[in-house]
Amino acid sequence: MVQDRWRQADANAALAAAGSDPADQALVLRVYTSRLIGADPDLVMHGGGNTSVKVRRRDLFGREIDVLHVKGSGWDLETIEARGLPGVRMAALLELRALPTLSDEDMVNVQRCNLLDCTAPTPSVETLLHAYLPHAFVDHTHATAVLSLANLPDVVAVCREIFGGRIALVPYIMPGFALAKAAAAVFEMNPAVEGLLLVNHGHFTFGNDARQSYRRVIDQVNEVEAWFARGAAARATAPRPSLAAIDVLPTLRGAIAAVGTNDRDAAMPVFDVRAGAEVLSFLERSDLATLARNGPATPDHVIRTKGFPLILPPAVMAGGRAAIASAVRDFAAGYRAYFERQAPRAAQPKTMLAPTPGLAWVPGLGLVGIGADAQAARIAADLGEQTVRVMSDATAAGGFRSIGEDDIFDMEYWSLEQAKLGRAAAPPFRGRIVLVTGAVGAIGRAVVQVFKANGATVFLVDRDGDALERTMTGLGRDAGGVVLDLAVEAAGQAAVEACVERFGGLDIAVSNAGAAWTSEMASLPEATLRASFELNFFAHHHLAQAAVAVMRAQGRGGQLLFNVSKQAVNPGKGFGAYGLPKAATFFLVRQLALELGGDGIRVNGVNADRIRSGLLTDAFIAERAKARGLDADAYMAGNLLKREVEARHVAEAFAALARAERSTGHVMTVDGGNVEASLR
Ligand code: ZN
C-alpha cells in the first residue's frame, strides 16, 4: 500500500510562509504534494512523473493572466522547489489545441516563448496534457501498481472492474501534442471522472485543490494494489544466489565494453546488482526469455534501461567467458538490427546509441543495472526492479503486454527524451571504478575526493568502521565501501570481492593503507618488523594479486597505484621497520609493471614525505621539529619549494598518474623537493 503522507500541519506551515497572494499559496501547496509524491518510489522514480497547478497572476501591466505552473525538465519531484515549476501563459497553450498537428520542436518553442521567466527550465513534455485538463491541480505518476494494470492484456475490463466509470482509459500514444489532445477528448466525454489511466504508460489524477488531487493519487493506486493482492498467487520462497559476483561480473563488464568500443582505454560500464528475494524468484521463471522480449513497464524507462534486458540463462553461464561474450555480442547484433529496421521510419536521421544493454537478468545472481557511472547504474537497477514487480503482478493477473517495437523506438530515439540524458562532456574518470585502501586517513580521503570529483565511482576500504561510515555519508549514495583490516590474511581478496559485488569490477586500485613502527634496527623486535611487512608490503602485494585477477577477467587493462614512501630510497633514523617493507613495495611497483604490461595493466607509485596524517601527527611533528631546532611549520616546509606538502598534493599525483596513459613502472615524488630522496 502507498501511504498518504499529507500532514495538515506541514501544509499549514508551507502556506504561512507563502504570503497572501493566492497564486503563491497554490504554488507552495503544489510544491508540497509534489514532494510527497516524489518521496514514494512506488509512485514515481528518477525524474519520472510531473505535476502542475493553474493560477491567475498579474503581468507587468497589471493585467490578470492565466498561468500554468508545471514541472520543469531536469527537476525531480522528490526535491522540487517553486522554481522547478516554471509558469507558462495558458492562453498560448490552449490556442495550440486547434492545430491538427504540432511538431515537438514547435511545441517546445511555444512553451519556452510563453514562460513568465525566460531563464526558467523547459516545461515538461506533458505540459499540454496538464493544460487541457480543467482542474487546478493535476498529478501524473507511474505508480508500480498502476503500471501492472496498464500493461494487462484485458486492461479495459479490469479497469472497469476496479473503478467502474470513475477512471477513463486513454489508449497508448507517445507523450506530446497528440497524447494531450487525445487525453483531453477522453476526459471531455465524461468530465465526472476522477482520473485517467494511460494504457502502457501511467496515471493522471486531478482535483480542485492540492489535497484532493494528491488524495486521489493515493486512493486510486491503493485500489489497484488491493485488486492485485486479491488475485496474487502466494510467492515462492526465494532461491539463494548460486553464482558469485566475482566469477561473472568482471567478465560481463569487459564483454559489454568490447561491443561498445574498440578503444581498450575507454571506460567500462558500472553495475548495480539487485538480488532480493522477489528478484531471485522472478529470475527462476520458466517464461523468463519471453518476458525479456516484452518491452518496458512504461516508455519513460526506455532511455535508461533500453527496451529489453540482456538475459544470461544458466546454459550461457555454464559456457564461461566465451559464452558470456557471445551472448553480449548477440544482444548487440539484435540491437543493431532493431535500429536498422526502425531508423528509416523516423522523420530525421538518427544516430545509433551504444548497442549495449541497460539491464541484465542473471538467474542465480540477480538483476544488474548497467550505466556509465554508479548513479546511472542505480537508476537502471531501480527501474529494473520496478519492472520485475510489475511483470510479476501482471502475469499473475492475466499477462503483461507492453508497447510494441515501433513505439519503443520512437521513445528511445525521441529527441526530447534524449535531452534528459544531458550532453555535458564526460569527466575524465567516469566509468572508472576506483578502490582506495586506508580510505579514511588524510591521504586516503584526499584520494577519494580527487577521483570522485573527476567522475570516478569510488569504493573505500578501511579498518575503522565508524570513520568509514562518516566518510561514506559525506560521499552520497553512489559510493561503496567495506570495513577490513588489510593486514589480515585474505583481506585483499575480500576487499576486491566486495568492490565487485557493489559495482561489478575494478579499474584502479589505490593501495594506500600503511602504518609506521619506529625503532632502531639494532634493537628492533622481529615481531615488529614482521607486522610492518604484513601491512606495508604483503597487504599491497595481496591487493594487487586480487585486483589483477579481476582486471584480467575484464580484459581491458587496469591500474595499480601504490603509496610507497620516500623511506624506500632515503632512510630516516628509527624508520627501518617502515622503510624496509616500503623498499620492497617500491620494487614491487617495477616488478608488477614488467609482468603486467602485456595485460595493459599500468603500475605506478607515489613517494610522499612529511604529510600531516595519522602517521605524522602534530605531536610527532613537534618532536621532530624540536630535534632539528625548528618550529613545526618550518619543519613541515623544510624542502626545496619551502612549502608544506598536503594530502591533496599526494592525491593529485595519484590522479595524474592515473591519467598518464603511457606511463608504467613510474614512481612520482611528492615531497616539495628533496635531492637526497630523488629517484634516478
Ligand atoms: Zn509519464
Whole-number Cα distances in Å, 450 to 78, 434, 480, 564: 29, 11, 16, 19
Pair 51, 85: CB distance under 8 Å = yes
Q: Which amino acid is at 404?
A: G
Ligand 1 centroid, distance to 48 Cα (angstroms): 7
Report the pLDDT value the prediction gives residue 618, as an integer from 0 to 100.
Answer: 86
Ligand 1 centroid, distance to 77 Cα (angstroms): 13
Pair 602, 664: CB distance under 8 Å = yes
How far apart CA 437 and CA 542 sit, in angstroms, is 12
Q: Which amino acid is at 175?
A: P
Pair 275, 365: CB distance under 8 Å = yes
Neighbours of 677 (CB within 10 A): 19
Pair 356, 255: CB distance under 8 Å = no
- The residue among 360, 363, 340, 358 whose CA lies nearest residue 350 is 340
Ligand 1 centroid, distance to 269 Cα (angstroms): 27
Ligand 1 centroid, distance to 111 Cα (angstroms): 18
Ligand 1 centroid, distance to 182 Cα (angstroms): 15
Does the CA dihedral 125-81-374-372 come out positive or negative? positive
Alpha helix stretches (DSSP H) within 534-597: 539-554, 576-596
- The residue among 641, 615, 638 whose CA lies nearest residue 628 is 638
Does the CA dihedral 168-169-175-179 come out positive or negative? negative
How far apart CA 481 and CA 384 sit, in angstroms, is 24
Ligand 1 centroid, distance to 535 Cα (angstroms): 54
- The residue among 545, 540, 532, 597 whose CA lies nearest residue 563 is 540
Neighbours of 96 (CB within 10 A): 18
- The residue among 211, 167, 159 whose CA lies nearest residue 186 is 167
Report the pLDDT value the prediction gives residue 155, as an integer from 0 to 100.
Answer: 95
How far apart CA 507 and CA 266 sit, in angstroms, is 11
- The residue among 91, 83, 88, 159 whose CA lies nearest residue 126 is 88
Cell numbers at 669, concatenated: 615524488
Instruction: Kindly compute the dihedral angle of the four CA atoms of residues 177, 181, 183, 184, in this order, to the nearest 10 degrees.
Output: 130
Report the pLDDT value the prediction gives residue 573, as an integer from 0 to 100.
Answer: 87
Pair 513, 468: CB distance under 8 Å = no
Cell numbers at 77, concatenated: 519531484
End-to-end CA separation in angstroms for the chain: 69
Pair 252, 361: CB distance under 8 Å = no
- The residue among 250, 668, 658, 648 whose CA lies nearest residue 427 is 658
The gap from C-alpha 209 to its chain's centroid, in whole angstroms, comes to 35
How far apart CA 212 and CA 215 sit, in angstroms, is 5
Q: Which residue has the cell 568482471?
A: 250
Rounded to 5°, the CA angle 619-624-625 comes to 95
Averaged pLDDT in 10-residue chunks for the chain of 680 residues: 94 92 95 96 89 95 95 93 96 96 94 95 95 97 95 95 95 95 96 96 96 97 90 63 92 93 84 93 93 90 92 92 96 96 90 93 96 95 94 91 92 76 79 97 96 97 96 94 94 97 98 91 94 96 98 96 93 91 97 97 95 82 86 89 95 97 96 87
Ligand 1 centroid, distance to 142 Cα (angstroms): 6
Pair 102, 125: CB distance under 8 Å = no
H/E stretch holding 138: strand 137-141
Ligand 1 centroid, distance to 44 Cα (angstroms): 9
Cell numbers at 603, concatenated: 603500475
Cell numbers at 363, concatenated: 538467474
Q: Are strands 359-362 and 310-311 parallel, antiparallel or unpaired?
A: parallel
Ligand 1 centroid, distance to 356 Cα (angstroms): 25
**Partners of 123 in the β-ladder:** 72
Ligand 1 centroid, distance to 126 Cα (angstroms): 7
Does the CA dihedral 94-100-105-106 come out positive or negative? negative
Ligand 1 centroid, distance to 174 Cα (angstroms): 9
Neighbours of 74 (CB within 10 A): 12
Residues recorded for the chain? 680
Pair 652, 668: CB distance under 8 Å = no
Q: Are strands 508-511 and 433-437 parallel, antiparallel or unpaired?
A: parallel
CB burial of 5-39 (b: ≥16 within 10 Å; e: otherwise) equals: eeeeeebeebeeebeeeebbbbbbbbbbbbbbbbe
Ligand 1 centroid, distance to 203 Cα (angstroms): 8
Ligand 1 centroid, distance to 204 Cα (angstroms): 9
DSSP state of 308: S
How far apart CA 262 and CA 553 sit, in angstroms, is 17
Ligand 1 centroid, distance to 49 Cα (angstroms): 5
Edge-to-edge order in the sheet of strand 202-207? 87-89, 64-70, 50-58, 137-141, 202-207, 195-198, 167-170
Ligand 1 centroid, distance to 413 Cα (angstroms): 16
Q: Which amino acid is at 416?
A: L
Report the pLDDT value the prediction gives residue 421, as an integer from 0 to 100.
Answer: 60
Ligand 1 centroid, distance to 299 Cα (angstroms): 8
